[in-house]
Amino acid sequence: ALVVPKPPEPTEAPLENNLQPSSRIPWARLLKRVFQVDVESCSLCGDKMKITAAIEDPQVIKKILGHLGLPTKPPKIWPARGPPGSAPDFDEVQQFPEFDFA
């Protein structure tokens, strides 16, 4: 009979279960860094805020926005502009346009 040693016991959880540090920065920290707005702190008392609900139903969202007097339709998407190199030179632009109000 062939004697084979028992494989060693794993000392840590499999790789997919290990929490590894992420290179992603949380959105709240990015907002604070860029706009100096701390969306995680209450503006009245300074306590840390937490999410209590996530509303995803479009009809409910429209109803809430309408009740608050906010627009219920998304803003118009404007077409993309060309690259900055395609802008006219200042020599081609009329600085003081002549308006005909007659």
Q: Is the pTM of this model over 0.85?
A: no
27 in helix, strand or coil? helix
**Bridge partners, 41 (sequence order):** 48
The predicted structure's pLDDT at residue 66: 95
Which residues touch 61 (CB under 8 Å, ≥6 apart)? 55
Cα separation values, 5 from 8, 9, 70, Å: 9, 12, 71
In which band, very low, low, confident or very high, does the pLDDT at 65 lie, cut at 50, 70 and 90? very high
In which band, very low, low, confident or very high, does the pLDDT at 7 lie, cut at 50, 70 and 90? confident
Q: Which residue has the higher pLDDT, 71 or 1?
A: 71
CB of 26 within 8 A of CB of 34? no
